[in-house]
Amino acid sequence: MPRKKKTIDFEQSLQKLESLVNQMEQGDLSLEESLQAFEKGVGLTRECQNILAEAEQKVQILVESGGELKTEPFTPEEE
């Protein structure tokens, strides 16, 4: 079974998002181009958030119990 490249997808999506932001900040885009860039940026942001949420669910803590190592699900502290 081939490995999924979630990390690469995340990094590529983040890089594309940063590029879009830079283009928009320069102010050289037309209104139509700005709207298209904004829509694409929203999609990339959601994609990155989904990848991060999946990664957070997979994180586990390695703990020692009775001389043996075992894993427990990671539960972040609520702020």
Domains in the chain with CATH codes: 6-73 (1.10.287)
Task: Give, as one character, the DSSP assignment of residue 32.
Answer: H
Give the pLDDT confidence of 22-49 residue by residue, as tens digits.
Answer: 999 999 999 999 999 999 999 999 999 9
Local structure of 55: helix, strand or coil: helix
Residue 4's pLDDT band (cuts 50, 70, 90): low
In the predicted structure, residue 6 carries a pLDDT above the cut 70: no
Nearest in space to 62 (alpha carbons), one of 52, 54, 71: 71
Give the pLDDT confidence of 66-79 residue by residue, as tens digits.
Answer: 777 777 776 766 65
Q: For 5, phi and psi rounded to 5 degrees?
A: -105, 55
Nearest in space to 21 (alpha carbons), one of 35, 38, 9: 38
Residue 1's pLDDT band (cuts 50, 70, 90): very low
